[in-house]
Amino acid sequence: MTPSRATSEGGPPSRSRTVRAKAPGKLNVSFSVGPLREDGYHSVASAYLAVSLYEEVSATSVDGDGITVSLRATDAPSVPFAESMPLDERNLAVRAARLMADVTEKPTGLHLEITKRVPVAGGMGGGSADAAATLLACDALWGSGLSREELAHLAAELGADVPFALLGGAAVGLGIGDELTPALAPGPLHWALVLADFGLSTPTVFSALDRLRAARGKTPEEPDGVDPRILQALRSGDAEALAAVLRNDLQPAALKLAPQLADVIDQGAEYGALASLVSGSGPTVAMLARDEEHAIELADRLAEAGQNSLAVHSPVHGAKIVSDLTR
């Protein structure tokens, strides 16, 4: 889609500059959920891994003021209903640009074009990756010169997962998932992902978990960090050790809302995945493989069986600038 561009009437078209940035989707290889807090969030302990599925955002300076956004047709045919992404002020990339403009007191006049590769509402933080890439792109475009730390503060205002999309690699997230400590994970770890043809809303999945716990008379404890065995498995890049300790407290709630995901998890076991896990609030299912060849083989078999699947690796870098062009 071509960005609509307002030019000053009668005058020559202004030169425009485009900064392109990319940021990765994520998996939570461990996700412990504590009690519901007064602000509507849950305290969590998350072990994040950035995966090789990247969102890209092109930020172009345009005449006039206002922020517009469009979806770029992607070369990855696998993103289900990418067009369901909101193309207005609700878009996380637009919210990120608006926040940058407010904080740095820059005039807006901006068009954002998003290349979507991470499934929408898939539990892989695609919108968060768009927000992180936008923060970086706008910082460069407007010459704001914010530090990584200042950008991380802005990221946390946009959503629990946004700081990790900025950081990338592997990290432990406490608080609501936004208080990050990088983790050692030389990797590589290889996965087959199964993308669903529907989305799950993050708040709905958290609420479903609260209801499941209430029905069982369970009061959740404050999470006291990530299981050291997870961090050890990440440090050693040992896929089999990691497979034995993967954890996602949201999984039972996602399965309650979308029972068909249990079949996908069973399929992973049948096809020889080391372990299968719902990613974040779902519905994407991540299957851990022994190595790259195994991940590709798994993804191929799943595709033959009619699933929308692809192989990815982790960890990968966080948000970064890809190009900076003036035309």
Ligand X SMILES: C[C@@](CO)(OP(=O)(O)O)[C@H](O)COP(=O)(O)OP(=O)(O)OC[C@H]1O[C@@H](n2ccc(N)nc2=O)[C@H](O)[C@@H]1O
Ligand Y SMILES: Nc1ncnc2c1ncn2[C@@H]1O[C@H](COP(=O)(O)OP(=O)(O)O)[C@@H](O)[C@H]1O
Q: What are the phi and psi torsion angles at 116 (to 5°)? A: -100, 125
- 178 lines the binding site for ligand Y (CB under 6 A): no
Taking the least distance from each CB to ligand Y, the nearer of 70 and 232 is 70
- Distance between start and end Cα atoms, the chain: 18
* Residue 127 is labelled as binding a ligand: yes
Q: Say which residue the tokens 């692809």 belong to.
A: 310
Is 121 annotated in a binding site? The answer is yes
The window from 88-96, 163-171, 244-252, 300-308 that contacts ligand Y (CB under 6 A) reads 88-96
Q: Is residue 161 among the annotated active site residues? A: yes
List 226's β-bridge partners, or say none: none
Taking Cα atoms as reference points, which of 108, 64, 114, 72 lies closest to residue 92?
Answer: 114
Instruction: Say if residue 125 carries a ligand binding annotation.
Output: yes
Joined together, the tokens standing for residue 327 give 């035309």
Binding mask 244-283 for ligand Y (x = CB under 6 A): ------------------------------------xx--
How many C-beta atoms surround the C-beta of residue 74 within 10 A?
A: 15
Q: Does 168 carry a binding-site annotation?
A: no
Half-sphere exposure of 203 (CA within 13 A, CB side): 4
CA-wise closest residue to 185 among 134, 146, 241: 241
115 binds ligand Y (CB under 6 A): no
Question: Is 129 among the annotated ligand-binding positions?
Answer: yes
In the set 130, 139, 161, 249, the catalytic residue is: 161
Estimate to the nearest angstrom the gap between the alpha carbon of 236 and the chain centroid: 24
Nearer to ligand X, 91 or 281 (CB): 281
3-state secondary structure of 124: coil
**Residue 108 touches ligand Y, criterion: CB under 6 A:** no
Segment interacting with ligand Y (CB under 6 A) among 6-14, 125-133, 143-151, 185-193 = 125-133
Smaller CB distance to ligand X: residue 19 or 275?
275
Catalytic site residue 75?
no
Binding site for ligand X (CB under 6 A): 28, 31, 40-42, 44, 46, 123-125, 128, 159-161, 176-177, 202-203, 206, 280-281
Cα 220 to Cα 67, 176, 189, 242: the distances in Å are 42, 15, 31, 24
Contact in structure between 172 and 29 (CB atoms under 8 Å) = no
Q: Which option in ligand X, ligand Y, none does residue 40 bind, with CB closer than 5 to 8 A by kind?
A: ligand X
* Closest separation in Å from C-beta 22 to ligand X: 18
Q: Which does 120 bind (CB under 5 to 8 A by kind): ligand Y, ligand X, none?
A: ligand Y
The C-alpha angle 51, 54, 57, rounded to 5 degrees, equals 150
211 binds, options ligand Y, ligand X, none, Cβ within 5 to 8 A by partner type? none
Indicate which residues carry an active-site annotation. Answer: 26, 161
